[in-house]
């Protein structure tokens, strides 16, 4: 129980450190507009808070389920389970928003306009420059992003959840969920999400954050060198 939560906390800490360094770099350059950097800072903090809340709700829920198994009372109702579902959803929502924020930073570095509806989904289309860049620098990102986005979309549309547990010893394996029927088709009809999925999401976000910071610092150095050369020519 505690080991599972600690794995999330450790990955969250790595993400926190990477985001902190990115925000520091954003504050030292004018290459990226301030509102773009602020969006990355805010949504990153939201994702971190959501991950922290998930750890706490996970521990509370496991304690409640251990008591349930010990009591063998099939009529017990667990508000902890519902809060755990919401915590899983919250992590998915905010990490998804963070991808859009980092997309904005990368587009700004390319001199493109960044608006309120700038989206990683739109940027990851065939022949788009950002698609090619990420395929080269972070090859497994696009596949992960599309899976995460699809799961987030179905959660947002009202997927129903069932907590799946092991009883010996009592342990939460994850959440099984079925996507609601809709008039439009979907590629995924049911799913299963665990703390391992959350860890993968935090880790991928850390890797993308580090890539964005590296790209930002390279662009800032190039801009500074170009400015210095222009000054020497005067």
| 218 falls within a domain | yes
Average pLDDT over residues 209-232: 75
3-state secondary structure of 178: strand
| 216 falls within a domain | yes
Nearest 5°: the CA angle 191, 196, 200 is 100
Q: Residue 138 sits in which domain range?
A: 2-155+195-233
* Cα 97 from Cα 110, distance rounded (Å): 20
pLDDT tens, position by position, 134-191 = 999 999 999 999 999 988 988 888 888 888 887 777 778 889 987 766 655 555 556 8
* Residue 31: per-residue pLDDT: 86
* Residue 171: per-residue pLDDT: 79
| 167 falls within a domain | no
Average pLDDT over residues 119-132: 91
| 149 falls within a domain | yes
| 177 falls within a domain | no
pLDDT tens, position by position, 51-89 = 999 999 999 988 888 787 777 665 556 788 889 999 999
* Cα 216 from Cα 131, distance rounded (Å): 17
| 139 falls within a domain | yes
Query: Total structural domains in the chain?
Result: 1
* Residue 138: per-residue pLDDT: 97
User: What is the reported pTM?
Assistant: 0.89
| 27 falls within a domain | yes
3-state secondary structure of 163: strand
pLDDT tens, position by position, 2-53 = 788 899 999 999 999 999 999 999 999 888 999 999 999 999 999 999 999 9
* Cα 2 from Cα 195, distance rounded (Å): 12
């Amino acid at each position: 129980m505690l080991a599972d939560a600690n794995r999330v906390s450790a990955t969250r800490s790595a993400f926190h450190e990477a985001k902190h360094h990115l925000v520091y770099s954003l504050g030292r350059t004018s290459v990226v507009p301030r509102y773009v950097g602020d969006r990355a800072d805010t949504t990153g903090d939201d994702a971190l808070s959501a991950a922290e809340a998930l750890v706490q709700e996970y521990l509370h829920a496991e304690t409640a389920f251990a008591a349930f198994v010990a009591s063998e009372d099939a009529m017990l109702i667990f508000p902890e389970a519902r809060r755990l579902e919401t915590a899983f959803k919250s992590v998915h929502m905010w990490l998804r928003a963070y991808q859009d924020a980092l997309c904005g930073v990368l587009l700004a570095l390319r001199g493109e306009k960044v608006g309120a509806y700038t989206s990683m989904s739109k940027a990851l289309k065939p022949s788009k420059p950002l698609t090619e860049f990420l395929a080269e620098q972070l090859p497994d990102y696009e596949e992960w992003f599309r899976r995460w986005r699809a799961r987030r979309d179905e959660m947002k549309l009202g997927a129903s959840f069932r907590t799946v547990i092991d009883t010996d010893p009592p342990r939460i394996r994850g959440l099984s969920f079925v996507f609601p029927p809709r008039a439009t088709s979907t590629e995924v009809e049911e799913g299963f999400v665990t703390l391992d999925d959350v860890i993968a999401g935090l880790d991928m976000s850390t890797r993308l954050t580090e890539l964005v910071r590296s790209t930002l610092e390279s662009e800032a150095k190039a801009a500074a060198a170009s400015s210095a050369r222009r000054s020497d020519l005067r």
